[in-house]
């Protein structure tokens, strides 16, 4: 049985956990796992993993392929999340950096990391079972069949927990972040699987911080601001780059060139000073250079969570803060999240 791997079903953002009474057919709530989206096709002999962007992921996670033969009871097509956990027993959490390290061209490194930082697959939907295709069935039926198929399966495969209790979902939103999760997803129970459609609802944390503008990258058009680079001062008074701000309109990108011109660092000849931005394994040959700004302008941004000393995702511009001194923008202003053991999230699934 060979399965065609579809585009994954997507989610649109909401500011709060929605009320199921306002949704015909009701809602089922799940934790929002922070990993690589994976559609896993198991034909009984071989495993194929497709990503959200249609990139094959199978070669990067050989431990999942090896475990499938004994863990998965029969051919199936699963939708879920690939995650990596690190930390001491009793204090484990999802580790995005360790997960991102797994995408590497060298087979020897993949083999080593599969042993050092093995991945888990968290299943949350069933698109096919045996010869039966299920995408047209309502989610309530797909979830029931997923539970029958996977309940009691061994690590590294897990079935995500769910609830119909909105209050419990709100508690998950508050508590599970301490284990590295990044929110809650609400799924209409009466809907079929809709590849590429944003019919699910995601609720993530929304916070603000005042940060210092460090520089900007030139937009691909070559004549405007592509993204702002921002930073925070650490306890030793060192200004650290913590992320980027993007999603500006074309008009706003051009306006920012003029607004930031007085703050551009210039050399003795008056030319703009440039720097080399941080490069990730996902950057490839992408130009990461940027125009340096004197660290004087403060802006307020919206963010969802931190990953170590950096914002986990691209942050959103809120407003300029001319009333704030750059030196006052420190890590101390950021909300501290209480730790939560990942095993407690996985405990009853």
CA distances from 114 to 72, 99, 249 (A): 19, 10, 42
Annotated catalytic, 204?
Answer: no
CA distances from 98 to 36, 76, 85, 255, 340 (A): 12, 28, 8, 39, 18
The residue among 257, 271, 273 whose CA lies nearest residue 224 is 257
Asked whether 195 and 325 are in contact (CB, 8 A), the reply is: no
Say what the alpha-carbon torsion angle 287, 292, 296, 302 is, to the nearest 10 degrees. 0
Strands 157-159, 119-129: pairing is parallel
- The distance from CA 304 to its chain's CA centroid, rounded to whole angstroms, is 10
Set 12, 32, 197, 204: catalytic member:
32
- The rounded distance, in Å, linking the Cα atoms of 74 and 349 is 19
- The rounded distance, in Å, linking the Cα atoms of 75 and 47 is 10
Asked whether 143 and 107 are in contact (CB, 8 A), the reply is: no
Active site residues: 32
């Amino acid at each position: 049985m060979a399965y065609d791997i579809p585009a994954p079903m997507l989610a649109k953002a909401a500011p709060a956990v929605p009320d199921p009474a306002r949704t015909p057919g009701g809602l089922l709530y799940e934790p929002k796992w922070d990993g690589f989206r994976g559609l896993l096709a198991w034909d009984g002999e071989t495993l194929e993993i497709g990503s959200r962007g249609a990139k094959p992921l199978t070669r990067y996670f050989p431990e999942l392929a090896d475990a499938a033969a004994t863990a998965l009871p029969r051919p199936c097509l699963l939708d879920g999340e690939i995650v990596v956990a690190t930390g001491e027993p009793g204090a484990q959490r999802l580790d995005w950096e360790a997960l991102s390290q797994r995408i590497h061209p060298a087979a020897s490194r993949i083999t080593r990391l599969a042993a050092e930082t093995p991945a888990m697959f968290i299943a949350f939907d069933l698109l096919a079972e045996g010869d039966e295709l299920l995408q047209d069935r309502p989610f309530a039926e797909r979830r029931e069949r997923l539970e029958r198929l996977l309940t009691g399966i061994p690590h590294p495969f897990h079935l995500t927990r769910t609830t119909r209790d909105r209050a419990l979902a709100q508690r998950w939103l508050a508590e599970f972040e301490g284990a590295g999760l990044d929110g809650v997803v609400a799924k209409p129970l009466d809907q079929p699987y809709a590849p590429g459609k944003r019919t699910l609802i995601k609720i993530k944390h929304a916070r603000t911080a005042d940060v210092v503008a460090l520089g900007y990258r030139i937009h691909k058009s070559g004549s405007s601001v592509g993204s702002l680079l921002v930073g925070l001062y650490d306890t030793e008074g060192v200004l650290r780059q913590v992320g980027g701000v993007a999603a500006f309109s074309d008009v706003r990108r051009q306006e920012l060139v003029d607004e930031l011109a007085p703050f551009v660092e210039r050399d003795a000849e008056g030319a703009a000073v440039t720097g080399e931005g941080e490069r990730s394994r996902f950057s490839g040959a992408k130009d990461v250079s940027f125009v340096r700004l004197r660290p004087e302008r403060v802006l307020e941004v919206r963010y969802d969570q931190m990953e170590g000393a950096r914002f986990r995702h691209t942050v959103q511009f809120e407003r300029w803060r001319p009333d704030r001194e750059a030196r006052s923008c420190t890590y101390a202003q950021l909300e501290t999240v209480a730790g939560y053991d990942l095993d407690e999230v996985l405990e009853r699934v």
